[in-house]
Structure 1
Amino acid sequence: MPEVIFNGPAGRLEGRYHPAKQKNAPIAMILHPHPQFHGTMNHQIVYQCYYAFAHRGFSVLRFNFRGVGRSQGSFDHGTGELSDAASALDWAQTINPEARACWVAGFSFGAWIGMQLLMRRPEVEGFISIAPPANLYDFSFLAPCPSSGLIVHGEKDAVVPPKDVNTLVDKLKTQKGIVIDQQVIPGANHFFDGKLEPLMETITAYLDMRLANVR
Structure 2
Amino acid sequence: MLIRETPVFIDGPVGQLEALYLDAADARGVALLCHPNPVQGGTMLNKVVSTLQRTARDAGYITVRFNYRGVGASAGSHDMGTGEVDDAQAVAAWVREKHPELPLTLFGFSFGGFVAASLGGRLEAAGVPLARLFMVAPAVMRLSANDVLPQDCPLIVIQPDTDEVVAPQWVYDWSAALSRPHELLKVAECGHFFHGKLTDLKDLVLPRLSN
Q: TM-score, normalised by structure 2?
A: 0.90
Match of 1:207 among 182, 206, 209: 209
Distance 1:106 1:113 in 2: 7
The residue aligned with 2:135 is 129
**How many residues are aligned here?**
202
**Unaligned residue ranges in structure 2 (runs of 5+):** none
1:79: how far off?
Answer: 1.3
1:196: how far off?
Answer: 1.6
The residue aligned with 2:55 is 52
Match of 1:114 among 113, 116, 132: 116
Match of 1:21 among 18, 22, 25: 25
Is the CA contact (8 Å cut-off) linking 1:188 and 1:195 kept in structure 2?
yes
**Unaligned residue ranges in structure 1 (runs of 5+):** none
- 1:89/1:159 Cα in 2 relative to 1: closer, same or farther (>3 Å)? same
The residue aligned with 2:16 is 12
Counterpart of 1:190 in structure 2: which amino acid?
A: H
Q: Does 1:34 align with 2:37?
A: yes
Is the CA contact (8 Å cut-off) linking 2:120 and 2:149 kept in structure 1?
no
1:45-85 C-alpha deviation (Å, 9 max, x unpaired) = 11111111112221110011111111111101121100000
Distance 1:70 1:16 in 2: 12
Equivalent residue of 1:52, what SS?
helix
Superposition map of 1:83-102 within 5 A: 83-99=86-102, 101-102=103-104
- RMSD of aligned C-alpha atoms? 1.6
The residue aligned with 1:181 is 183
The residue aligned with 2:163 is 157
- 1:143/1:4 Cα in 2 relative to 1: closer, same or farther (>3 Å)? closer
Distance 2:190 2:91 in 1: 31
Q: Percent identity?
A: 30
1:4-25 C-alpha deviation (Å, 9 max, x unpaired) = 1110001001111111202x74
- 1:25/1:205 Cα in 2 relative to 1: closer, same or farther (>3 Å)? closer
Match of 2:65 among 62, 67, 72: 62
Distance 1:143 1:108 in 2: 16
1:102: how far off?
Answer: 0.7
Q: TM-score, normalised by structure 1?
A: 0.88
Is the CA contact (8 Å cut-off) linking 1:29 and 1:104 kept in structure 2?
yes
